[in-house]
Chains A and B, each alone.
Chain A
Amino acid sequence: MSDLQFRSALSHRRDEDLPMDLCVSLDEVSDRAMIDLRGSLDDPKFVAAATAALGVALPAQPRSSSVKGDITVLWMSVDQWLVTTPRGSEQALLSKLVKRLGNTFSFACDVSDARTIIRVSGGDARSVLMKGTSVDLQSPVVKPGWVRRLLFAEVAAACQFVHSDPDTFDVYVFRSYADYVWEWLLAVARKGARVQLYGKQEPPLV
């Protein structure tokens, strides 16, 4: 695909300087391809085929993910996963999946361009995102690998807590919403609008 012109959802923002006064860093992760995988965990043939093709077990626990090598599998529902893999490797992976899955009741579908990933990173990442979602990102269940579908800035999204130090979230949004969500994040992530929720604070006046 070398001579093909690839333009990610936020490519037009790439050359734009980010405002200096943001309290988190914002980035588009555009080098991940995605496969939507459907199947039943109650079907051992499906589970075995998927595991063999992906090289990693499907996360069965709601709101979790599993990683092996280049491949990450995000739990999306009890019978749905979002597999991410480096761009360029998706067709091979898809063929492998389709071959292994054979005639089991399942569906693997290339959705690499349907979404983009906005990476929000920094000590204030949780509180910045909590301006747009009612999900409690300060809960102890939000550990590395935690995944959740949610409404962010009134837009359907999925969110993965990638790692801490600094806190880093990947926000998956449908491609058409990317610019709106980016604009929204720029507005709420200004340093002057920082929110520190809980923890030691200056005592208010009495």
Chain B
Amino acid sequence: MTGAQNEYDAIVIGGGPNGLTCGSYLAKAGANVLLLEKKWETGGGLATDDFQTPFRFNLHAIYMMMAELMPPYDDFDLANNNVEFIRPETQMAFHYDDGKALVFYTDPKKSAESIAKFSTEDAKVFEKMYAEFKQICDEILIPATYVHPIPALDNVELLEETELGKRCVEVSEQSPESMLDFYGFKDPRVRGALLYISTMWGLDPDSTSVGYMIPLYVYRMLNASIVAGGSHTLSSALNTPFKANKGHIIECADVTKIIVENNKTRGVRLADGREFFGKVVVSTLNPEQTFLKCIEEEEIHDEDVVDAAKLWKWEGRSFFTAHFGIKGNAPEFKAAAFNPDVNIALVHVFGFETEGDVKRHIAEVSEGKVGKPAGHFTCTTQFDPFQASPGPYGPLHTLRYETWASYEIDGKHWDEMKHDYRQQCYDMIGRYSTNLGEAKLLFKFAHSPLDIERRLHTMKKGSIKHGEYDALQMGYLRPNEDCSRHRTPIEGLYLAGASSYPGGMILLGSGYLASNVVAEDLGLDKWWTPPDYIGKAQEKGYIPS
């Protein structure tokens, strides 16, 4: 490449949601920033592709749990930059073989009414739990997502000083499974549904180590939204402030080395030999990539950092995601006879009758078995017509089915199973639907856990959050205690990806927090102010100031 400049204030490695976030904050603060992305397209997990068909498929992230709560939403005025979050009122429907369905809404009262069809007692319990989860999340856990973490014990100490904090600690001691007893749910289907919601993103049913994720998952998955036009719209919107502030992006740039001399970061080298230099380097890669592959071991003086990277655990469960483009009406469901709202639910869950089913399925997947594709389904076009062509010769609808899957599977290779399993996913939707049989299936695509890794090298072994959520890899320890506040023991090296605090999913948290410390260290003008909810939580003493 001619003329490309090779000296920058900051170099960001990886153009996923976190890399784009960090890059945009710094560029707008006046830094001269270079962002390097391995693929030809930025966005990482925010990927929407049509494969040149009339359908838009969200290949990775689709459900936005934080949406408008993410600081960049206001800071970059995303609402005026093509971003709209669509949040259907009817959120989740669990379909059962006997034609019944349990439906959850953004409105907990309506959820309780639906639960009452199974158990009036559980309905009351749900309302209580939901109210508590909501308060804990709104006042403590969400604000905590966007401030730097403190050690777990200090955190507990801090929380113990307030009533709500104490309750938060108690709740956080639960596992997804024990939470059901902690609140006293009885009905097997209600228990199964709640267990699914709290484990769907990878928590094990009996894991007590990151119990605070449960309120977040339950509350936010029942307030989930999708991005109008497809998840990638959010990526494009995060690109805009970066480019408008003269940030430089190089795509197809495979970073293989972070150049460190005398414990000081100098820059990076790409697979093709190009080198770029920067005062700071921000890595959104996973710990194995950053600390074991990109930096020579002898250049890292802090052994703990290397050890933590060596011991880093990937997630035990990943996803198999199947995408379909149909000509025909949006699927309607047998269970609509029981509750008509199932036809307008954002997320449909099939194949789990009870708590036992959820546990069995998780156990099977963890052992590398490929069982029946029980999982969750969304017809995106039902809520957002932009995710398929308006025609001619429609209606056209985009279907997305996702089921837990293991990276390593018994005996077989995913590449050989992919087509067959994809068909099983389609059949699974058909089993619960009344009209899918009438539709014409025009296009079908699928990605196995192996494909996730091959698409995004950060997501090793299909690890969608760049690493397991367990006590040793979360909070102040993500990815280790020396790096979770986004600076590292190597001068000029920062972390901003899903493997650093607060973690994976579309939170934009690590990118946001990293830009705060980088801006401080580079002496940049921090043009942004934290969201109001952070100030309030600090006033109340729920989170560190």
Q: Do A and B bind each other?
A: no
Residues of B near any A CB (own CB < 8 A): none
